[in-house]
Amino acid sequence: MDLLGITDARFDQPTRKRWTGLGLAAAAAGRIRPVIGQTFPLARAVDAHAAIEARTVLGETLLEV
């Protein structure tokens, strides 16, 4: 098993554009869905940031506007 970090994901512009298009098409078709870990009202943005910094959230953290 190989472990790669974000700095290993460097691609030339044509490859990035192609993969971005494929990813957006897959999301539009419903094949990719984000994992929403928790949501916060905008008034609790400080709490949302604290949860992210503490790494207590699995998935995405959303602010409701």
pLDDT digits (tens, 9 = 90+) for 7-59: 777 888 899 899 999 999 999 999 998 899 999 999 999 999 999 999 988 89
52-60: long-range pairs with CB below 8 Å, 24+? 59/34, 59/35, 60/34, 60/35, 60/36
Range(s) of the domain holding residue 41: 34-65
Q: How many domains does the chain have?
A: 1
Per-residue pLDDT at 16: 87
Q: Which residues pair with 60 in a beta bridge?
A: 36
Per-residue pLDDT at 54: 95
Per-residue pLDDT at 10: 81
Contact 26, 32 (CB under 8 A): yes
Confidence of residue 1 (pLDDT cuts 50, 70, 90): confident
In 3D space, the residue among 55, 63, 56 whose CA is nearest the CA of residue 39 turns out to be 63
14 found inside a domain = no
* Tokens of residue 29, six digits: 């078709």
2 found inside a domain = no
Per-residue pLDDT at 21: 95
64 found inside a domain = yes
Contacts (Cβ under 8 Å, ≥6 apart) of 42: 63, 64, 65
